[in-house]
């Protein structure tokens, strides 16, 4: 479902009550308490039927980063840098949405890449862009602390103007792995070298969305409910819980610890991807 985020939890619960599989766009809910209700309802039913649309898990570039980490190519992953920039956002996009609607992707991505839960967040105040709306706190920097001590710094800049730019670098004990925007045509001329930047998320992640949808259809056809390696209801809950904590960190101008409910046994397989929940 791709309805507004504040309707997701209610609609997903209706699907669960009817025994239907559902692919829910992120976020699973706009508040962690509602997402937890989905987790609890699914656990009570005893079957995973909810897949959350964090499509980066199906992006070839992010999968390469994941494979490098899991394969030991960079040693022990220690820290990461992340960039998430949009050329612009609609007028209804307010300050908190940088955390709950944009950086929520990073919250899921780095739980998945590192195989660890995020245990604390610190939002660092940044000088506001003069080109953004007055109500929009933009850009923002969030420091994420993971259960094993790894740290991620994630930048959100939703009014960067020049294009859609999502990148990251993971630093390990013996090397690094970096993800850049996919290359297009490189132009040389007038003493310059240049290449195009994706115009929007559809250009950058179009194939990932298609692959995610196909994986979900195949899983439903095979009566699995959730595709292997996809974000499930627990992942959706954990991501929005981190986002809520980041909002609290910004308001308090202080580090805030993430408080997760006890993970139901239904999500035991998720423990392999996110130890420590």
Domain locations along the chain: 5-263
Tens-digit pLDDT profile for residues 201-252: 899 999 999 999 999 999 999 999 899 999 999 999 999 999 999 999 999 9
DSSP state of 3: S
Residue 275 pLDDT more than 70?
no
ω into 171 cis (within 30 of 0): no
How many other CB atoms are there within 10 angstroms of residue 213's CB atom? 15
Tell me if 9 sits within 8 A of 37, measured CB to CB: yes
Tell me if 85 sits within 8 A of 244, measured CB to CB: no
Residue 277 pLDDT more than 50?
no
Which residues are CB-neighbours of 141 under 8 A, at least 6 positions away? Answer: 123, 124, 126, 153, 154, 155, 156
Q: 18 vs 181, which has greater pLDDT?
A: 18
Q: What is the pLDDT of residue 269?
A: 56
Residue 113 pLDDT more than 90?
yes
Give the residue-averaged pLDDT of 176-188. Answer: 86
The DSSP bridge partners found for residue 25 are 53
Q: Given pLDDT bands bounded at 50, 70 and 90, which one contains residue 1?
A: low
Least trusted range by pLDDT, from 80-94, 108-122, 141-155, 247-261: 80-94
CATH of domain 5-263: 3.30.360.10
Tell me if 52 sits within 8 A of 125, measured CB to CB: no
CA distance 133 to 179: 30
Q: What is the pLDDT of residue 136?
A: 80
């Amino acid at each position: 479902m791709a309805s507004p985020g504040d309707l997701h939890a209610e609609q997903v619960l209706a699907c669960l009550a009817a025994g239907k599989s559902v692919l829910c766009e992120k976020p699973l809910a706009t508040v962690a308490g509602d997402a937890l209700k989905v987790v609890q309802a699914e656990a009570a039913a005893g079957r995973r039927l909810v897949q959350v649309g964090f499509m980066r898990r199906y992006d070839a570039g992010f999968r390469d980063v994941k494979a490098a980490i899991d394969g030991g190519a960079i040693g022990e992953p220690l820290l990461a840098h992340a960039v998430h920039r949009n050329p612009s956002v609609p007028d209804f996009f307010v300050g908190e949405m940088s955390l709950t609607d944009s950086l929520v992707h990073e919250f899921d991505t780095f739980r998945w890449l590192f195989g660890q839960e995020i245990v604390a967040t610190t939002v660092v105040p940044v000088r506001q862009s003069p080109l953004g709306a007055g109500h929009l706190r933009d850009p923002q920097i969030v420091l994420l602390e993971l259960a094993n001590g790894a740290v991620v710094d994630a930048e959100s800049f939703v009014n960067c103007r020049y294009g859609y730019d999502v990148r990251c670098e993971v630093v390990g004990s013996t090397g690094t792995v970096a993800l850049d925007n996919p290359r297009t045509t490189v132009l040389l001329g007038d003493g310059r070298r240049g290449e195009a930047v994706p115009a929007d998320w559809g250009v950058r992640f179009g194939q990932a969305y298609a692959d995610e949808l196909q994986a979900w259809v195949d899983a439903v056809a095979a009566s699995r409910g959730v595709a292997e390696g996809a974000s499930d209801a627990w992942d959706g809950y954990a991501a929005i819980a981190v986002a809520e904590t980041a909002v609290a960190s910004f308001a308090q101008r202080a580090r805030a610890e993430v408080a997760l409910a006890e993970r139901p046994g239904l999500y035991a397989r998720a423990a392999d991807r996110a130890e420590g929940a």
